[in-house]
Amino acid sequence: MSRSSEISAEHVTSSAKSRRRTVLKAGGTLLLSVFTSLPARAAQIMAVRVWPAEDYTRVTLENDTNLKTSHFIIKDPERLVVDIEGLELNPTLKQLVAKIQSNDPYIKQVRVGQNRPNVVRLVFDLKEEVNPQVFTLAPVGEYKHRLIFDLYPVNPVDPIAALINKGEWLREKPAESLPPLASAGPEPKPAPAVPPVSGLPSVPPVQVQPELRAPKAEDNDKEEASRPATLTRMITIVLDPGHGGEDPGALGRGGSKEKDVVLDIAKRLKAKIESQPNMRVMLTRDGDFFVPLHTRVQKARKVQADLFVSIHADAWIEPTARGSSVFVLSEKGASSTAARWLANKENAADLIGGVNIKSHDRQLASVLLDLSTTAQINDSLKLGKAVLAEIGGINRLHKRAVEQAGFAVLKAPDIPSILIETAFISNPEEESKLTDDKYQDQMANAVLRGIQKYFARNPPLAKNRMT
């Protein structure tokens, strides 16, 4: 090939390469412009849920991605306005309107609309002034992303005031010469609403050991001074049905949920305890709503509880696991690997139920949960042994001794506290028991007997209370 031919060939090749680069560049620009013009995919609302309660009302929007929001309050009348970005109105979100019931304590109704492109507006018409907490939760367990609206009353009801309003607080009786708990005195009649149960002893009012004081100089009557002082007072017991609301707890193969069966048992136990003339009860939750772990402890302390009883249903990966258990707090670590695993599972309730991390006072919670004393644990062990012995009469025991682990809900520093695993909901046979009225009644009776025996051996000290 000649020199001129080589130059001509090189020119042709160079021109072809240049044309290809131009075509590729133009095609790439066109392709980029096409993708740039496509709108971003809107987030999808997958489920809407509403959890009304006297404590607060929670509204949950479950979605496939994290959502950005802004909100503000409008006065006269009270309204909460929430704008959600990156969202288009869909049929699932429209269902929220029908989810608001007339008995909701804080929401009259909700209006949902497309405020502008990619922005949905929710307007909550309120029944009273609220302190809203709007936050998001990352995916956990069976849940995807969640957008949460917690509507707390600006003026929450004091728990003691609530008990007074229900007639469940001012039931004190004047001190009289009464037989001690363990004596064979005449049995008081139970409340009409709770018929007497065969084999369940009634409890006369407990005699309380008063706080000691030095005798005054003018107390010259030696006989009077040497007479043991006795008085009676109401015993306050807090029952804590585990889980609730967004947190279903353990699930049975037959479809039952731990949060439901333990609430049923707690309500039965509450009625039986209230049939005693010297006991009153508060539930940490009386409906299907979520209560953070440290809030459960705080509720018990606010009413100056004498006992705290947390009620649960166990679960395990194998359906053959069965039996009832009783747990108390441990300062030195769990008494077994299974106890540690269970405590970690129960302590994860806040993650599943959903706590607003921004508003959660971690410092206060950590101080409260680190004040547990050896005395509290010792008293809890006594209570646990008494209850476990009674439960063993109606169901097989998973462990024959009270176990210990770091359960956050048992860390009230001044209240004997136990956690009862009533049975394994993951075991088909025991799941059937847990949903059976007869078994629930037997479990409530057994726990009450255990409480009675505990107080027979450990009379509570007198306290300065507003009763």
Q: In the chain, what's the furthest Cα-to-Cα distance? A: 141
Q: 83 exposed, middle or buried (CB, 10 Å; 0-12, 13-18, 19+)?
A: middle
pLDDT for 375 equals 84
Q: With 50 as the cut, is the pLDDT of residue 413 above it? A: yes
Compute the CA torsion angle 272, 273, 274, 276 (nearest 10 deg): 100
- Would the pTM count as exceeding 0.85? no
- Helix, strand, coil % in the chain, rounded to nearest 5: 35, 25, 40
pLDDT for 341 equals 74
Q: What is the side-by-side strand order in the sheet with 325-329? A: 279-283, 235-241, 307-314, 417-424, 325-329, 403-405
Q: Do strands 307-314 and 417-424 pair parallel, antiparallel, or not at all (unpaired)?
A: parallel
Greater confidence, 8 or 440? 440
Token pair for residue 128? 């009273």
Stretch 120-124: mean pLDDT, rounded? 97
Residues 302-325 pLDDT 10s: 999 999 999 999 999 899 999 999
DSSP string, 326-385: EEEE-SS--SSHHHHHHHHHHHTHHHHHT--TTT--HHHHHHHHT---HHHHHHHHHHHH
Cα-based distances in Å from 274 to 29, 102, 263, 390: 78, 30, 16, 19
Domains of the chain: 45-153 (2.60.40.3500), 159-213+222-457 (3.40.630.40)
Helix ranges (H only) for 244-324 are: 258-274, 293-302
Compute the CA torsion angle 353, 356, 361, 363 (nearest 10 deg): 70
Q: List the Cα angle 327/330/333 in 5-degree steps.
A: 115
pLDDT for 41 equals 65
Residues 129-141 pLDDT 10s: 999 999 999 999 8
Contacts of 143 (CB under 8 A, 6+ apart): 62, 137, 246, 352
